[in-house]
Chains A and B, each alone.
Chain A
Amino acid sequence: MTSPIDMTETTTNTAPLLEVRGLGVEFQTRGGTAHVLEDIHLQLRRGETLGLVGESGCGKSITALALMRLIPQPPGRITSGQILFEGKDLLQLPEAQMRRVRGNRISMIFQEPMTSLNPAYSVGDQIMESVRLHQGLDAQAALARAIEMLEAVGIPDAAGRVHQFPHQFSGGMRQRVMIAMALACQPDVLIADEPTTALDVTVQAQIFDLISEMRERTGTAVLLITHDMGAVAEMTDRMAVMYAGRMVEEGPTDLILSRPSHPYTQGLIACAPGRNPQSHGQPLQEIPGTVPSLLERQGGCTFADRCSHTQPRCRTHVPPSTWVQSGHRVMCWLYPDSEGARA
């Protein structure tokens, strides 16, 4: 389904560029404490694209904000874990140093290109702003960089349009500008939080192509947050599946898509329409039930109430992480490596 993945590359023991260990985030709400993220583990290697998938509200975007240390506090709070970037824990950095990481080493693009650009400044000013801030370029060099970046993301007549304002660009063009802005400082990590959700289908493909192309050109690692399984298949080397604030499965994209292990992942992939030609004319599949409230957490697997393979211990004990293959792990009691249970 996708280009063959070089397994040796994803399984070599090079230290990951960005590693999240046991990240937990809570939000204080009127109804009590919401456990928005629990025990999140992620690894992102240099130049790799990692897909982060899951349905709305499962904590994908909060994970991204936590990586930038931009969770609104209060009500949010990072309760546990480490975010190691080149071996240094970002959670321990003073705010002033963290600001030098944001936009410079790790940058981000958003879902809504129509509102992600400041309407009061020309697009050139906005690209220049970050390179002047982080790289200390003078106005002339920054303008040259802005034009160069706009050309790189495929804006025609970049030298002329650099002085135009966001309202003079279409949605797809604005997302290109956002990508130019995010990559202007040549960051090591680009977080793309559903970068195409608000765009036309034809434009979506262009933006995905652009992200891939820019990744190849600059060597930036990409964390792609999406619920578009097609995009995951197309774009990513590895993927991680989240459900209700927890990771449920992680591994090479082609392995997970062809043989999903976690019942939730299986359901999610079955839900994606049009993958199977025999399903034409059939009602779309869905996963029964709804996502549990993040407020009332009982012990056990968060998916237990919707799962068709539920066992008694699913409701009492959180399943441990089990390696089903090299580089592919799943958090589910179905898999025998975890204490030799039945398959």
Chain B
Amino acid sequence: MMTAPPLTPDMPIQPQQKTVSTLSPWREAWRVFRGNKAAMLGLVSLILIMLVMVVGPAWYAVDPFGIVATPFHEPFVDSRYWLGSDYLGRDIVAGMLIGGRATLLVGVSSAAITVVIGISVGALAGYFGGWIDVSLSRLTELFQVLPALLFAMVLVTLFQPSLGVVICAIGMVSWTGTARLTRAEFIRLRGLEYVNAARTMGAGHWRLIWREILPNAMAPLIVSATLVVGVAILFEAGLSFLGLSDPNVMSWGMMIGANRRHILECWWAVTLPGAAIFLTVLSVSLVGDGLNDALNPKMHLR
């Protein structure tokens, strides 16, 4: 006796809702990113920090270098200087509001330099292979074994310590990771069928590198670039802590460096900019992790 329910052909088959919309890989990534709470928190806090950096100093018009109060003014007691003052009597609020500008500017610009150098070197090495790969890889390794902080310090002391020099110095010492990542991606992608297909369509080297391979290597590169921003911010803070950044530009790192001898008397002048750096780097890292999840196709399978 047959007990299985018969398959009735007239059973209403739910037609699958077919999305005829064009879901580009980037849109799809954004959809995943939006669903990631930690990453969205990082993004929101990063946007807030940037907003404060842009409009804050205009709204709170106190010279961060101006000596406006007595030194070691305690925070949260006087509404005029509600984050207190440092060892010279400079207003901490003014420093906090404007100090992120240099930090973020250096972080983003030197990450941009890193990405440009790293992608160019890695793409050429990975795409062409052979002696080009050998020489570019050796160059990468040479920069890799240089002690980054010392090399940056040498560059900054050789030229005058302006923001531009600091940006170039950080860019020069941190492109090696991006280059190696790009090279590995290019080696993986250059043998794929669609690259060969593009070749049979008459594409030249330039087109293959920039139009066919690079867009498909972008996902890990974007993630690494984001993380480089965080590293560069810390680098800048380190340089200005050592007094090697532009002395005419207030930055969080400089605030920490200037007050480091007085950490016992005025903890706030060191801790608050430190917390700001921490929060910024944390936000950048959260965004980076979120991008990693969103752009890594294997994670979509969860």
Contacts and interface: CB of A to CB of B under 8 A. Distances in A.
Contacts of B216: 118-120
A103 B23 CA distance: 28
A108 B197 contact: yes
Given A122-B24, A157-B20, A165-B22, A116 B202 contact: no
Interface in A94-131: 99-104, 107-108, 110-112, 115-122, 129-130
Given A115-B192, A116-B193, A160 B202 contact: no
Contact of B23 (A134, A161, A168): A168
B197 to A, nearest CB: 5
Interface of A: 68, 70, 99-104, 107-108, 110-112, 115-122, 129-130, 133-134, 157, 160-161, 163-165, 167-168, 178, 181-182
Contacts of B211: 129
Given A108-B197, A178-B197, A99 B202 contact: yes
A188 to B, nearest CB: 14
A70 B199 contact: yes
B77 interface: no
Contacts of A116: 193-194, 197
Contacts of B200: 68, 70, 102-103, 107-108
Given A107-B201, A129-B201, A134-B202, A118 B22 contact: no
7 contacts: A70-B199, A111-B193, A120-B215, A133-B203, A167-B25, A168-B23, A178-B197
A119 B211 CA distance: 12
A34 B212 CA distance: 31
A119 B194 CA distance: 9
A111 B196 CA distance: 12
Contacts of A100: 202
Interface string B289-301: 0000000000000
A161 B23 CA distance: 11
A111 B192 CA distance: 12
Contacts of A181: 197, 201
A181 B215 CA distance: 20
A112 B201 contact: no
B193 A115 contact: yes
A236 B192 CA distance: 29
B215 to A, nearest CB: 4
In this complex, the interface size class of chain B, counting residues with CB under 8 Å from chain A, is: 20 to 34
Given A120-B215, A120-B216, A165-B22, A102 B193 contact: no
A55 B282 CA distance: 58
Nearest to A125: B211
Interface of B: 20, 22-25, 192-194, 196-204, 211-212, 215-216, 218
A97 B198 CA distance: 16
Given A99-B204, A122-B22, A165-B24, A117 B199 contact: no
Nearest to A161: B20
* Most chain B Cβ neighbours within 10 Å, of A120, A165, A168: A120
Contacts of A133: 201-203
A100 B198 CA distance: 13
A139 to B, nearest CB: 15
Contacts of B198: 118
A70 B196 contact: yes
Contact of B193 (A107, A112, A122, A164): A112
- Enumerate the 4 nearest inter-chain pairs by beta-carbon distance, A residue then B residue, closest first: A103-B201, A120-B215, A103-B202, A102-B202
Given A70-B196, A110-B196, A115-B192, A120 B201 contact: no
B206 to A, nearest CB: 11
Contacts of B196: 70, 110
B217 to A, nearest CB: 10
B194 A164 contact: no
A104 B211 CA distance: 19
A184 to B, nearest CB: 9
Contacts of B215: 118, 120-121
A286 B114 CA distance: 59
A150 to B, nearest CB: 14
A119 B204 CA distance: 19
* Most chain B Cβ neighbours within 10 Å, of A102, A112, A163, A178: A102
Contacts of A102: 199-202
B128 to A, nearest CB: 12
Nearest to B198: A118
B32 to A, nearest CB: 14
Nearest to B204: A99
A129 B199 CA distance: 12
Contact of A118 (B20, B204, B212): B212
Nearest to B194: A118
